[in-house]
């Protein structure tokens, strides 16, 4: 089962410009910034209570987030739910007929394990499930 919303992912063109909004104007705390090569993004994680906002800037145009930006422009990109056992959760979802983008978990920000579900079987919402590393 999903324990909580882990984060909301937002696609941005310019990470520093976006951070000015989130850190200065929204007064959120930047807790982590990392280039995740496997996903072709530079990601910034900000605290909102026990949840997060994840800002995503593409490292190149031909990455998933780069393509998203050229198709739709900046904005909401995905929602991520937290789970304690991502492998069991993926098996359960697959058995329920949910289409998976990632059949097996991959490495996400802060050494978490993540997998994406296809928006076509998730009501049009790109959905990520996350098992934190701790």
Question: Given the rule CB under 5 A, which residues bind Co ion?
Answer: 9, 54, 80, 128
Taking the complex as a whole, the smallest distance from the CB of residue 80 to Co ion amounts, in Å, to 4
Q: Which residues pair with 8 in a beta bridge?
A: 53, 79
111 in helix, strand or coil? helix
34 near 43, Cβ under 8 Å?
Answer: yes
Taking the complex as a whole, the smallest distance from the CB of residue 128 to Co ion amounts, in Å, to 5
Taking the complex as a whole, the smallest distance from the CB of residue 41 to Co ion amounts, in Å, to 9
Instruction: Give the tokens for residue 2.
Output: 């999903």
Between 51 and 121, CB nearer to Co ion: 51
CA 65, 28, 83, 105 torsion-angle sign: positive
Between 23 and 132, CB nearer to Co ion: 132
Residue 93 phi/psi, 5-degree rounding, is: -65, -45
Between 82 and 95, CB nearer to Co ion: 82
Between 42 and 128, CB nearer to Co ion: 128
In 3-state terms the chain splits into helix, strand, coil percentages (rounded to 5) of: 30, 40, 30
Taking the complex as a whole, the smallest distance from the CB of residue 121 to Co ion amounts, in Å, to 18
The separation between CA 23 and the C-alpha centre of its own chain, rounded to angstroms, equals 19
């Amino acid at each position: 089962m999903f324990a909580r919303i882990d984060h909301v992912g937002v696609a941005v063109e310019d990470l520093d410009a976006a951070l000015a909004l989130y850190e200065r104007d929204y007064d959120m705390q930047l807790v982590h910034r990392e280039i995740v090569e496997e996903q072709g993004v530079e990601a910034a994680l900000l605290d909102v209570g026990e949840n997060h906002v994840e800002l995503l800037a593409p490292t190149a145009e031909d990455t998933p987030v780069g393509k998203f930006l050229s198709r739709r422009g900046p904005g909401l990109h995905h929602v991520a739910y937290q789970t304690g056992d991502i492998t069991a959760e993926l098996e359960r979802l697959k058995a329920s007929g949910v289409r998976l983008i990632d059949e097996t978990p991959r490495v996400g920000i802060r050494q978490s394990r993540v997998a994406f579900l296809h928006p076509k079987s998730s009501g049009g919402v790109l959905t990520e499930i996350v098992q934190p590393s701790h």
